[in-house]
């Protein structure tokens, strides 16, 4: 079947559609990032060791979100949007159920791995003493709720694939607000509630995601949107699982590369002391703000690209991808310029320690100018998921990882100062952005789209 020509995602002007889709996503993603920032502020009240502990556990929290919302979530949105673009609503409904089972299984697997191996992983990063104890305390509670994070992000991706950005955005905004309130209540202890420290801050996020998962399940099961979740009436089929996994599984390599890059850098900085590690942690916390901004734009392009691919409109799919990439690069590049020139705008939110703030300022001086390239690559990554062609951005992520691994080994052997490690991070962002753009340009997205 051919999708009706009246479908605005197949015929409307691309930039207005992307802006309309991006804005609610951005509000939700910024709220999620601000919740993480609030957590860091709460943790900052526990001292430098707790901040260093957050720097140790943060890569694994970030990995979970990137896998569930970005990589596998992108595969889910891509499959749903391509089915709708081809006019097959029944198939889209079946894909939603398969996505839920995939998300649930991966959430349980992530929980098991982190509960069993989390302390060891964080010690390998260089964590020890009180910093490691604080990281483990947070992780034990946070990762017990991994399946809830996966369900929230999977069901949000199903709805986004149908072209509805409002419901997932409102839900994630509400989850973020609840996380801030519950994390503060349980972690710091407000009123009659006794403070639970790092475990209480983590518990706030678990409870917030429980509420979000229940709401999204009810929304889809009750048939309020274009997609209806009919778990009992849908039989698992290998072809539907493969439709999601052939994109999502390949896409999962990219966040693994990103987090491995962060782990290498974290390990390098950890050798320079607690203050340097805490300052680096403040800097990487801004990346948790940058990723949602690029995510908001990139994921907005997924249904536009996916439906165009499903309907055979390859040129329109590419136009949407490059338009979104330019928008993401401009947004992140502007933010990078701000923190490069005025780092205290960000660092003063977390610490008054002069050494910690100096380390964070050095991070921004060398990494900030390259944030635009990071936004360019990340947006094209999501657009490629919409097209069902994830390999190009994955290869670019491999190049970024090689730059950090090889350069990091050399810097470690030379016992280099922190600024050289941060400069290496900036160079890796440049390689990632330029490499992704080139590989997307030369990769065919469909019949008649021959690239040289």
What is the pLDDT tens value at each position of the chain, 452 positions in all? 444 445 777 877 899 999 998 888 888 877 877 787 788 788 878 887 888 888 788 878 888 988 998 889 988 998 999 899 888 999 999 999 999 999 999 999 999 999 999 999 888 877 788 888 989 999 999 999 999 999 999 999 999 999 899 999 999 999 999 999 999 899 888 877 887 888 998 999 999 999 999 999 999 999 888 899 999 999 989 999 999 998 888 888 888 887 788 778 777 777 777 777 777 777 776 776 677 778 789 888 999 998 899 888 899 999 999 999 999 999 999 988 988 888 877 777 776 677 777 777 888 888 889 999 999 999 999 999 989 898 999 999 999 999 988 988 888 787 778 788 888 888 999 999 999 999 999 999 876 565 54
Query: What's the confidence (pLDDT) of residue 4?
Result: 44
Q: Do 40 and 180 meet the contact criterion of CB atoms below 8 Å apart?
A: no
Please list, residue by residue across 76-102, b when 16 or more beta carbons sit within 10 angstroms of its beta carbon and e when fewer do. bbbbbbbbbbbebeebbbbbbbbbbbb
The verdict on residue 174 lying in a domain is yes
The verdict on residue 450 lying in a domain is no
Cα–Cα distance, 331 to 342 (Å, whole number): 17
The verdict on residue 6 lying in a domain is no
Residues 6+ apart with CB under 8 A from 285: 36, 37, 40, 58, 350
The verdict on residue 388 lying in a domain is yes
Q: How many Cβ atoms from other residues are within 10 Å of residue 142's Cβ? A: 27
Domain extent for 204: 13-442
The verdict on residue 448 lying in a domain is no
Q: How many Cβ atoms from other residues are within 10 Å of residue 232's Cβ? A: 6
Query: What's the confidence (pLDDT) of residue 35?
Result: 83
Structurally, how many domains does the chain consist of? 1
* Three-state secondary structure call for residue 164: coil
Quote the pTM value. Answer: 0.80
The verdict on residue 5 lying in a domain is no
Q: Which two tokens stand for residue 435?
A: 């490499």
Q: Half-sphere exposure of residue 203, counting CA atoms within 13 Å on the CB side?
A: 14
Query: What's the confidence (pLDDT) of residue 452?
Result: 43
The verdict on residue 447 lying in a domain is no
Q: Do 289 and 331 meet the contact criterion of CB atoms below 8 Å apart?
A: no
The verdict on residue 416 lying in a domain is yes
């Amino acid at each position: 079947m051919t999708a009706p020509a009246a479908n605005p995602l197949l015929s409307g002007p691309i930039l207005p559609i992307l802006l309309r889709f991006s804005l609610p996503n951005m509000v939700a993603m910024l709220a999620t990032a601000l919740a993480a920032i609030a957590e860091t502020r709460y943790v900052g009240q526990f001292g430098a060791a707790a901040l260093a502990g957050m720097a140790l556990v943060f890569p694994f929290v970030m990995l979970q979100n990137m896998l569930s919302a970005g990589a596998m979530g992108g595969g889910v949105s891509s499959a749903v949007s391509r089915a709708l673009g081809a006019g097959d609503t029944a198939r889209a409904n079946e894909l939603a159920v398969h996505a839920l089972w995939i998300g649930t299984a991966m959430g349980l697997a992530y929980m098991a791995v982190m509960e069993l191996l989390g302390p060891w992983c964080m010690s390998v990063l260089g964590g020890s003493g009180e910093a490691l104890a604080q990281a483990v305390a947070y992780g034990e509670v946070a990762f017990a709720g991994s399946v809830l994070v996966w369900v929230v992000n999977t069901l949000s991706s199903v709805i986004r694939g149908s072209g509805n950005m409002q419901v997932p955005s409102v839900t994630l905004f509400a989850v973020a607000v609840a996380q801030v309130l519950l994390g503060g209540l349980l972690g710091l202890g407000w009123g009659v509630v006794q403070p639970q420290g790092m475990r209480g801050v983590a518990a706030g996020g678990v409870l917030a995601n429980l509420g979000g998962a229940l709401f999204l399940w009810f929304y889809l099961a009750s048939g309020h949107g274009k997609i209806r979740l009919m778990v009992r009436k849908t039989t698992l089929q290998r072809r539907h699982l493969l439709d999601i996994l052939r994109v999502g599984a390949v896409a999962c390599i990219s966040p693994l590369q990103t987090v491995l890059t962060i782990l290498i850098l974290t390990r390098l900085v950890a050798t320079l002391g607690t203050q340097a590690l805490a300052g680096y942690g403040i800097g990487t916390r801004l990346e948790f703000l940058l990723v949602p901004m690029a995510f908001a734009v990139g994921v907005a392009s997924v249904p536009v690209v996916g439906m165009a691919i499903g309907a055979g409109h390859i040129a329109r799919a590419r136009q949407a991808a490059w338009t979104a990439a330019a928008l993401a690069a401009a947004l992140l590049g502007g933010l990078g310029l701000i923190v490069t020139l005025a780092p205290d705008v960000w660092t003063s939110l977390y610490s008054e320690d002069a050494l910690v703030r100096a380390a964070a300022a050095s991070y921004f001086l060398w990494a900030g100018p390259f944030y635009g390239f990071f936004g360019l690559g990340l947006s094209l990554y999501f657009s490629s998921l919409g097209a069902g062609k994830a390999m190009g951005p994955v290869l670019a992520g491999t190049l970024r990882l090689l730059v950090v691994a090889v350069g990091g080994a050399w810097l470690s052997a030379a016992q280099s100062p922190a600024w050289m490690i941060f400069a290496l991070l900036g160079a890796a962002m440049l390689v990632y952005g330029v490499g992704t753009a080139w590989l997307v340009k030369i990769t065919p997205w469909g019949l008649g789209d021959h690239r040289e």
